[in-house]
Amino acid sequence: MIPGMQYERDNIREMAGYAPGEQPSATEVIKLNTNENPWPPSPAAMAVLNDISPEALRRYPSPTAAAFLDEAAGLHGVDKECLVATNGGDELLRLAMTTFVSPGEPIGIADPSYSLYPVLAAIHESPIKAVELLEDYDLPEDFAAQMNAAEVKLTLLVNPHAPSGRLFDVDRIDALAQALDGVLLVDEAYVDFAPASHNVIPLIARHDNLMILRTLSKGYSLAGLRLGYGIGSPNLIRPIAEKTRDSYSVDALADAIGAAALADQTTAKASWQAVREERARITEALTERGFTVAPSHSNFCLARMPDAAQHSAQATYEKLKARNILVRYFPAQRLNDCLRISIGTPAQNDALLCALDEILA
Ligand SMILES: *Cc1c(COP(=O)(O)O)cnc(C)c1O
């Protein structure tokens, strides 16, 4: 060895890693910082976990996560050839880059959006083409034209948008897939909290460049399990499912528990509805206190401080943390006077409002 030598590639040395939200081990903390579902997972999924056989762990799992894919195909009314299961939605993001973009070719994003996108692009050695969203987080008219002009091979669009919660409707996604020369990956990590009538899955039959990302982390209260999936036409799915995916990246527990969780729509839908109701209550309560809250179709809301000169978002974040309440603060331009607050249980949300009243008094 050479003392002091750094062996990583230049781009890895120069890049900053992803900064995850804090995951404290203390259980008394009210965690409203990483958009987990505040309600427990399906009892049927927990029963599968309890009944898992030693044989299921001794052997390798199904290479395709077949039980889970069967359930997902039935739920969404698509062929299994249109689905691929991944180790969380985050693995699908990485696979989309590996599969559709050569290193050095640009990857398109809207700004602001999920802060993992540029990190994955940096690992892949692809430059980011970032198009700034309008004041109300809408896409500019020429979004697709800008991506095409930059010869972007893969555009990542989170919908409902993070961190604002804004929802682009089905017609917008339809038009965008039509207009883009490259692949459009619509990251639907939070779509379960949008109106049930919002459904872009039928569009995959019309656009062979449209991939949809889903995850069980948010809507199904299974962030700890690490299970996500992609939906798209077979020409997009096949190279991932057959070539670029890690063998066995979805383990036997995730296959079985994920299938049971998807099958129990009753539990999941009850949690989505509870989140929507609390989201409306929190939005109203924060607005009454002078915050500007972007209308959200997600399980969080983005709240701009009433008077950032007097109470900065960062100071408020820290004072909440001192009271054992975690929210997310982004030290980024445009977001640094905002708090992103995950929707909790009614009791957690009450505690948040109570603490804010003390802090802002
Ligand atoms: C949570 C999230 C994902 C996927 O998360 P996994 O836990 O890896 O499934 C993808 N995109 C966004 C914007 C998210 O917030």
Is 171 in a helix, a strand, or coil? helix
Question: How far is Cα 219 from Cα 227, in angstroms, rounded to an integer?
Answer: 12
| C-alpha closest to that of 293 among 337, 326, 325 | 337
β partners of residue 26 = none
Question: How far is Cα 304 from Cα 108, in angstroms, rounded to an integer?
Answer: 27
Structure tokens at 292: 């500007």
Structure tokens at 169: 């409707």
Is 206 in a helix, a strand, or coil? coil
Residue nearest to atom 11 of ligand 1 (CA): 189
Amino acid occupying residue 320? L
> What would the mean pLDDT of 43-64 be, rounded to a whole number?
97
> What would the mean pLDDT of 344-360 be, rounded to a whole number?
97
Q: What is the pLDDT of residues 211-232, one digit of tens each?
A: 999 999 999 999 999 999 999 9
Is 16 in a helix, a strand, or coil? coil
Cα–Cα separations (whole angstroms), residue 228 to 186, 210, 218: 13, 17, 10
User: pLDDT band for position 4 (50/70/90)?
Assistant: confident
Handedness of CA 273, 274, 275, 277 (dihedral sign): positive
β partners of residue 83 = 231
User: pLDDT band for position 28 (50/70/90)?
Assistant: confident
CA 149 to chain centre: 27
DSSP states along 304-341: E-S-TTTS-HHHHHHHHHHTTEE-B---STTTTTEEEE
Handedness of CA 166, 171, 174, 176 (dihedral sign): negative
Residue 24 has pLDDT above 90, yes or no: no
Q: What is the pLDDT of residues 71-114, one digit of tens each?
A: 999 999 999 999 999 999 999 999 999 999 999 999 999 999 99
Report whether 168 contacts 161 (CB < 8 A).
yes
| Protein residues whose CB sits closer than 6 Å to any atom of ligand 1 | 35, 88-90, 114, 158, 162, 187, 189, 215, 217-218, 223, 228
> What would the mean pLDDT of 250-259 be, rounded to a whole number?
98
* Distance from Cα 215 to the centre of ligand 1, integer Å: 7
Q: Could you identify the atom of ligand 1 that is nearest to the CA of residue 187?
A: 11
Percent of the chain with pLDDT over 90: 93
Residue 25 has pLDDT above 80, yes or no: no
Q: Return mean pLDDT, the chain.
A: 96
Question: How far is Cα 66 from Cα 51, in angstroms, rounded to an integer?
Answer: 19
| C-alpha closest to that of 14 among 161, 123, 143 | 123
Q: Could you identify the atom of ligand 1 that is nearest to the CA of residue 158?
A: 13
Residue nearest to atom 12 of ligand 1 (CA): 189
Give the per-residue pLDDT at 333.
86
Cα–Cα–Cα angle for 273, 214, 240, rounded to 5 degrees: 170
Give the per-residue pLDDT at 216.
98
Q: What is the pLDDT of residues 284-310, one digit of tens each?
A: 999 999 999 999 999 999 999 998 889
Residue 23 has pLDDT above 90, yes or no: no
- The beta strands (E) that lie in the chain are given as 30-31, 83-86, 107-111, 128-132, 154-158, 183-187, 210-215, 228-232, 292-293, 300-304, 325-326, 338-342
Question: How far is Cα 103 from Cα 100, in angstroms, rounded to an integer?
Answer: 10
Q: Is the full-model pTM beyond 0.75?
A: yes
Q: Could you identify the atom of ligand 1 that is nearest to the CA of residue 91?
A: 8
